[in-house]
Copies of this chain bind each other. A is one copy, B any other.
């Protein structure tokens, strides 16, 4: 007799394999190719574990953050990747992604589907301690990739330092050490010609 919950879970595990085929604008640090969403999700989940001590808020629940980061981009299986600096692409993005979340998370047993939907919505809204910390990981990782590839994706999209600084501004209160380091990298990137002033 087949366990019905297990059957739904396997179906979901099979479906999310597609995240490995959703490519981002960011390049791997060796510049050889674009990064995909599954690799990105792995990297930032690991970062969340390692950088926790830099959070000013000692109430971060790292297990919740890790779960949030593992599934934060799963909606892109249906909705595709929208580049952070693509203003037109932002239109209707939330609605496309919400429909994707309902379809994909909906493959799971109801309790797990609900947990995942709540974590995803919390991440999108960036209002709680956990989601702000998670969002910080999601924003600094591509910045490292850009810096170490001499601004490859920044240059392709003519991104300016002002726009990068604006996207990471909220780190100043959440993760001041990390914010300070990242600001140094941004200024250095401008000096080296990786990023437009």
Q: Which residues of A pack against B, CB within 8 Å?
A: 2-3, 5-7, 9-10, 12-14, 16-21, 28-30, 32, 35-36, 38-39, 41-43, 45-47, 49-51, 53-54, 62-63, 66-67, 70-71, 108, 112, 141, 144-145, 148, 177-178, 181
Q: How many monomers of this chain does the complex have? A: 2
Q: Which residues of B contact A7 (CB under 8 A)?
A: 181
Closest 4 CB pairs of A and B: A42-B42, A17-B29, A38-B39, A63-B63
B148–A14 touching, CB < 8 Å: yes
B28–A21 touching, CB < 8 Å: yes
B53–A5 touching, CB < 8 Å: yes
B181–A2 touching, CB < 8 Å: yes
A32–B38 touching, CB < 8 Å: no
A13–B45 touching, CB < 8 Å: no
> In the docked arrangement, what's the CA distance between A51 and B30, Å?
35
